[in-house]
Structure 1
Amino acid sequence: MPLNVGEITYTNILPLYYYVNRSKLAKNDISFVPQVPAHLNLAMKTGVIDVGAISSFAYGQNYKEYELFPDLSVSSFGKVGSIFLFSKLPIEKLNGASIALTSSSATSVHLLKIILKEFYSINANYETVKPELQQMLKSNEACLLIGDDAIEALWNKDDENLYMYDLGEIWTKFTNLPMTFAVVAVRKAILAKERSAVSILFDEMKESKELSLRNGFLPMIKDIKTKHRGNYRFWENYFAGLDYHFQENQFRGLQHYYELCFKHGFIEQVPKLSFVNDYAHTHSM
């Protein structure tokens, strides 16, 4: 049977997909479905997508149904460069404010709520809307944008008085831990039937990550520049701030995120990380 692979349509995930041999995968009946994170999260949950990058929060919600690919993630220790809170007010003054949330995200939405409540003791009012900076700020004091939407907003914002906060930077400031925004997961039901195809895909994604790192992201950046603005220095700095591994330090950061999600009632229990092939670094969380 075919294997449907979710592919997040943001540049931050591109190193995990850029060098995969798509013709080879197609011969093994493996196809790709590009979507924003929120759509892929739902598609994975309903079985429309079998495997792929999803938000860390979506894994936390459905961890009993999924297993993770080892050592593949989108993480950062400090600035992530594409997850911003844009605000008319300093963050400390947002208590009772109205904040517009992007409809494209899950992990970052709950990360923002955790940051405001846990680190700043702020209670805000939230609404989820289409991710467009000017429209979001028309009737709200602040807004959250992620991925390419956030980068475009960074370039296009015309109000120099707007405050801008990088959620990855704030998270690390208060926790001294990295934040893992996306993981690569496979549905357990499909893994039992298509382990060989899943293994081929994992090898390709792992090789893509390693080639991207080895090449300093440069061939990929050349392609990105044909679709987006920004010079080489911007994109080099952007990718240099991201971490595509998923090891001990990322485990600790994600564990803390899940613990705080549970504390604030966003998930029903703290999930366990379960890896394909009983990966040696499997952790109970």
Structure 2
Amino acid sequence: MTLVIGEISYTNILPLYYYLERNKLIENGCSFVPQIPSQLNEGMSKGVVDVGGISSFSYGEHFDKYHLLPNLSVSSHREVGSIFLFSKVPIEELNEKKIALTSSSATSINLLKVILHHFYQYQVDYHVTKPNFHEMMLDHDACLLIGDDAIVTKWNHEKDIYRYDLGQLWYEHTGFPMTYAVFAVRNQVIENQGALLEALYEQFLMSKKKSQHDQFQPMITEIRNLFGGSSSFWNEYFAGLCYDLEMRQLEGLRYYYKLAYEQGLLTKKVESIYLWDSLDHCHSI
């Protein structure tokens, strides 16, 4: 038996993978695929990836084919700290302007479209490009970056550029937290590899709890060696993230899916969010 595990290659999801007993999981038939969210979304939809972190929007596209692993996500109650709209003009002046969107994600680009359409009533000319701030801003009025690309750009961007955190914008207009990534499993895997899935799930929960218990410190030391940044920055960053998937997050997701469907971003209405259960195997809300 094998289980292909998708692993988003951004620091924001690292606490859920950091303490996994990888050698043990690999011995039991698991393999890991580290990629950006858009690649993992595609891998899951094609059956190449079995389980792991994917964009929340991608779950909305395939909600009838996947289940979510409970108590696991990458969310924020307000600011997320790594999903930014960078703009040459204030957000109040972005109507009918050109915005470059990162090619790395699905949740964030559609979140921006939802925010500007439903809450600002803007008509915007969007273009998906590679995530490079300077190239994106050459021919556009604003750009959206996520993950480590957004963090590094925040550290280095020009002072005359406006910056908006999408998690904060979402909260200001809805009062909901925003969930950017979820842990999904294909329905076929639940039927065929339940025991291995349960072992992996326990490992994810263990990594989350140990990361929180350690206040992310060993992980932050490694991140600073790779990306730089101060201890205070990374401490504040991880303190602003939530790795649970509780009722409030699910309510926010349902509202996000509702608005995305009304806007035509989702072709199917998300009738239910299906949660995997190690005992009952699945239930919906």
Aligned residue runs from structure 1 range 146-225, under 5 A: 146-157=146-157, 159-225=158-224
Match of 1:263 in 2: 262
| 1:38 and 2:29 matched | no
CA 1:252–1:90 in 2, change beyond 3 Å: closer, same or farther?
A: same
Q: How far does the alpha carbon of each residue in 1:93-138 deviate from its partner, in whole angstroms, 9 at most, with x for none? A: 1111010000001000000001101111111000000000000000
Supply the distance in 2 between the matched residues of 1:281 and 1:185 (Cα, whole angstroms).
12
Query: Secondary structure of 2:40's partner?
Result: helix
Match of 2:110 in 1: 110
CA contact (8 A) 1:258 1:271 kept: no
Q: How far does the alpha carbon of each residue in 1:197-217 deviate from its partner, in whole angstroms, 9 at most, with x for none? A: 111110000100011111111
CA contact (8 A) 2:88 2:161 kept: yes
Q: How far does the alpha carbon of each residue in 1:64-114 deviate from its partner, in whole angstroms, 9 at most, with x for none? A: 110110000000011000000000011111111010000001000000001
Supply the distance in 1 between the matched residues of 2:264 and 2:228 (Cα, whole angstroms).
39
Supply the distance in 1 between the matched residues of 2:85 and 2:173 (Cα, whole angstroms).
16
TM-score (norm 2): 0.97
Query: Secondary structure of 1:276's partner?
Result: strand
CA contact (8 A) 1:8 1:53 kept: yes
| 1:229 and 2:228 matched | yes
CA contact (8 A) 1:70 1:279 kept: no
Q: CA RMSD in A?
A: 1.3
CA contact (8 A) 2:276 2:283 kept: no
| 1:65 and 2:65 matched | yes
Supply the distance in 1 between the matched residues of 2:190 and 2:79 (Cα, whole angstroms).
35
Supply the distance in 2 between the matched residues of 1:282 and 1:75 (Cα, whole angstroms).
22
Could you tell me which runs of 5 or more consecutive residues in structure 1 were left unpaired when the two chains were aligned: none
Supply the distance in 2 between the matched residues of 1:194 and 1:178 (Cα, whole angstroms).
32
Match of 1:126 in 2: 126
Supply the distance in 2 between the matched residues of 1:33 and 1:191 (Cα, whole angstroms).
19
CA 1:135–1:237 in 2, change beyond 3 Å: closer, same or farther?
A: same
Size of the aligned set, in residue pairs, is 283
CA contact (8 A) 1:60 1:271 kept: no
Match of 1:15 in 2: 15
CA 1:131–1:279 in 2, change beyond 3 Å: closer, same or farther?
A: farther
CA 1:282–1:191 in 2, change beyond 3 Å: closer, same or farther?
A: closer
1:271 deviates by 4.0
1:218 deviates by 0.6
CA contact (8 A) 2:258 2:270 kept: yes
Could you tell me which runs of 5 or more consecutive residues in structure 2 were left unpaired when the two chains were aligned: none
CA 1:253–1:106 in 2, change beyond 3 Å: closer, same or farther?
A: same
Supply the distance in 2 between the matched residues of 1:18 and 1:110 (Cα, whole angstroms).
29
Supply the distance in 2 between the matched residues of 1:165 and 1:257 (Cα, whole angstroms).
19
Supply the distance in 2 between the matched residues of 1:279 and 1:109 (Cα, whole angstroms).
35
TM-score (norm 1): 0.97
Supply the distance in 2 between the matched residues of 1:212 and 1:255 (Cα, whole angstroms).
28
Q: How far does the alpha carbon of each residue in 1:218-276 deviate from its partner, in whole angstroms, 9 at most, with x for none? A: 11101111111101100000000000000111111111111111111111212411111
Supply the distance in 2 between the matched residues of 1:13 and 1:79 (Cα, whole angstroms).
16
Letter in 1 for 2:256: Y
239-248 or 260-269: bigger deviation: 260-269
CA contact (8 A) 1:179 1:254 kept: yes
Match of 2:55 in 1: 55
1:191 deviates by 1.7
Match of 1:241 in 2: 240
Of all paired residues, the percent bearing the same amino acid is: 48
1:281 deviates by 9.9
Supply the distance in 2 between the matched residues of 1:73 and 1:207 (Cα, whole angstroms).
14
